[in-house]
Amino acid sequence: MTATLLTPDYLRRHPLPRHDGGGGKEDRGRVLIVGGSATLPGAPLLAGLGALRAGAGILQIATCRSVAPHLALAMPEAMVVGCSETEDGGLSPEAAGRIIELAGKVDAVLIGPGMSDLDATRELATRLVAEVHGPQIVLDALALTGLKDVPHLLQDKAGRVVITPHAGEMATFLDIERDEVEADALAAARRAHAATGAVIAMKGVDTFVVSANEHWVSKRGSLALATSGSGDTLAGILIGLLARGTPPLLSVLWAVYLHASAGERLAQRYGRVGALAREIPAEVPMLMEELLA
């Protein structure tokens, strides 16, 4: 099966939820980002910017206790919760109980940005996926690769899980070579969907989106997106749209388009190289307005 080209016309025909006529921030949903570490403390911030710029109403971040005060100062829009951490400065599996409690009160959860310590992440992510019930779940980065041996947990959550790997993460998840993923990214995404039941956003020069019955490809974007932290902003945009009540597949299609289009605008402003990931989310609100006008 070939992939259908994602176009702005399709998104105009399948709009995001509108929030006209007032309403409070609760009406646009709550998100929880689980991530960060001593070595990558800023990843949850980038994801949080993406979530808020995509329209989420309330942002919470669960991160390492040593990182939390600094992150709270850097991002005053978020409620930041410090959690147990490992000796290496990663989130500890002991944090699971507190995170599960937080997740029970939100609409969408992102697990993975900036997490380190593979063994601890594997144990924590496995428990979170098994015991978080209700919200939509997005798995990114180390949290995804940590779940490679328990895809049945994702099958149990089919319809509520999105995974957002790049080629290296997909290769680890499928236990194949990166070159094999890059040679046929659509086939790799289809394999991942078959194993997990999740909606797959296979990031790359061309980004493929695979669900049970639909295969899509986005050919938009710019070299400006090939920068550290760019994937964190995409994952954040995605959970922001999910929290607003957008269905998972449509959320992924919108997020991929908005992220790619933001990269194109940054390339026009700064050139194809030199843009910062933190600049991506600021482009999103007007891009949404233009498509929804």
In the DSSP assignment, the letter for residue 93 is G
Q: List C-alpha distances in Å: 71 to 25, 44, 87, 141, 142.
A: 22, 9, 19, 20, 20
Instruction: Find out whether 240 is annotated in a ligand binding site.
Output: no
Instruction: Find out whether 209 is annotated in a ligand binding site.
Output: no
Distance between CA atoms of residues 175 and 285, nearest Å:
38
Instruction: Find out whether 43 is annotated in a ligand binding site.
Output: yes
Alpha helices in the chain (DSSP H): 8-13, 43-53, 68-74, 96-103, 118-131, 141-145, 151-155, 167-174, 178-183, 185-196, 230-243, 248-270, 284-292
Distance between CA atoms of residues 91 and 83, nearest Å:
7
Instruction: Find out whether 205 is annotated in a ligand binding site.
Output: yes
Instruction: Find out whether 27 is annotated in a ligand binding site.
Output: no
* Residue 174 and residue 183 in contact, taking contact as beta carbons nearer than 8 Å: no
Rounded to an integer, what is the distance from CA 80 to the centroid of its chain?
18
Instruction: Find out whether 232 is annotated in a ligand binding site.
Output: yes
Cα dihedral value 150, 147, 83, 236, nearest 10 = -130
Distance between CA atoms of residues 210 and 278, nearest Å:
27
Angle among Cα 169, 175, 180 to the nearest 5 degrees reads: 75
Question: What residues form DSSP beta bridges with 198?
Answer: none
Instruction: Find out whether 121 is annotated in a ligand binding site.
Output: no
Instruction: Find out whether 206 is annotated in a ligand binding site.
Output: yes
* Residue 215 and residue 194 in contact, taking contact as beta carbons nearer than 8 Å: no
Distance between CA atoms of residues 124 and 120, nearest Å:
6
Instruction: Find out whether 114 is annotated in a ligand binding site.
Output: yes
Binding-site residues: 43, 114, 166, 203-207, 231-232
Binding-site residues for AMP: 203-207, 231
Binding-site residues for (6S)-NADPHX: 43, 114, 166, 232
